Amino acid sequence: MALIMMRSVATTRRGFFKLKRSSSGIRAFSSLLTSPPSKAVVYERHGPADAVTRVIEMEGVEVKEKDVCVKMMAAPINPSDINRIEGVYPVRPPLPAIGGYEGVGEVLSVGSAVKHLSPGDWVIPSPPSSGTWQTYIVKEESVWHKISKDSPIEYAATITVNPLTALRMLQDFVTLNSGDCIVQNGATSIVGQCIIQLARHRGIHSINIIRDRVGSDEAKEMLKRLGADEVFTESQLEVKNIKGLLTNLPEPALGFNCVGGNSASLVLKFLRHGGTMVTYGGMSKKPITVSTSSFIFKDLSLRGFWLQKLMNSDKVNECRNLIDHLLCLAREGKLKYECVFVVRILSLFQSP
């Protein structure tokens, strides 16, 4: 996952703002309150992201009485962002569209009817919403969730999609107790890393599957440092009795699949009788194949997870509380993952 750091200068011009001061900060005196001009990554058609996106400058927009103008500080590039641009994601914004789906920003100004946010607050869009790859965003107060300004910016910008997915999947499908075990593929992904740490925090063991690739030994060591109990490459699991590779770990009750194909089959082989595999991605673009015996004799269950559906339901406030919990773990150093900074994209947002 890459991270875009937003750098912007709010240049004011005579007559550009008409403001009044109140005890809660800068608020609109009339409909003349507008956002500063903004730079944005836009696409007008679907296709490869490097071919269809471009950076444009946009005029400021009106900040209405219930609106909040946010100066974006950082936003990640998730695989789902690229899928939206390519046109292959199930839910896509209408074209033309601004890229990005999550991020963190600082409140610049608020409308006269805004009650719970003030200039200087740090906020994230919750539920996530499209258009975070721009320097200024104006949306209603209900879109924004205030977070602690002590949060590391890279975690604040990325906490919603991947860490929250990890936490919800650990909570929502099977009741797990300390001493239980889970199994997952795609363990080096951000979700995978979060699952390892959140499970360890609850005393839950993890079995982790990674691809055979250059650097797999280093990847194993990295996951072990995060708290993984076992880490196997896919080729190591090409044995008849896969559970014979386990030493003192119980058979997993819950598995997570973000790859599909043969890697999903390996997750299923580890599961105990009555176990559940949750699929939240399909990076290999290969189907999941399940043997008849897995259903009849092991009574396995297959489920799916899609965060966007969950956060568009009546569980938004619950998810916001979980986000606060995850950010607390990040501040305490109990939740760690790396973001790669893309200098080329960063330079597009720098002011001259």
Q: If you count them, how many residues does the chain have? A: 352
Which entry of 43, 89, 136, 280 is annotated as an active-site residue?
89
- The terminus-to-terminus CA distance of the chain in angstroms comes to 27
**Dihedral in degrees, nearest 10, Cα atoms 94, 96, 99, 102:** -40
Q: Are strands 122-125 and 104-110 parallel, antiparallel or unpaired?
A: antiparallel
Return d(Cα 144, Cα 117) in angstroms, integer: 9
**What's the rounded Cα separation, in Å, for the pair 253 and 178?**
12
Which three-class secondary structure state does DSSP give residue 284? coil
Q: Please give the structure tokens belonging to residue 188.
A: 């080096």
Catalytic site includes residue 337? no
User: Which residues, at least 6 apart from 98, have a Cβ–Cβ distance to it below 8 Å?
Assistant: 40, 41, 42, 130, 131, 132, 133, 134
Element (H, E) at 190: helix 190-201
Q: Which residues are catalytic, by number?
A: 89
